[in-house]
Amino acid sequence: MNARHFIPVRKIDVIEALITHGALGAGRDNFRRFCQLLGAIAHYEYHEQLERLHNDYFYFAPESTTHAEAGAGTLKRAYRT
Whether residue 4 is contained in a domain is answered as no
pLDDT at res. 38: 94
Segment-wise mean pLDDT, segments of 10 residues, the chain, 81 residues:
74 91 86 94 89 80 66 68 56
Expressed as residue numbers, the domain containing 40 is 11-80
In a domain, 60, yes or no: yes
Q: Is 42 a domain residue?
A: yes
Residue 39 has a pLDDT of 92
The answer to whether residue 3 is domain-embedded is no
Name the domain count of the chain: 1
Decide if 31 contacts 24 (C-beta within 8 A). yes
Q: Is residue 1 part of a domain?
A: no
Residue 69, pLDDT score: 64
> How many residues does the structure list for the chain?
81
pLDDT of residue 2: 60
Domain membership of residue 2 (yes or no) is: no
Contact assessment for residue 61 and residue 55, using Cβ atoms and an 8 Å cutoff: no
The alpha carbon dihedral of 76, 79, 80, 81 has a sign of positive
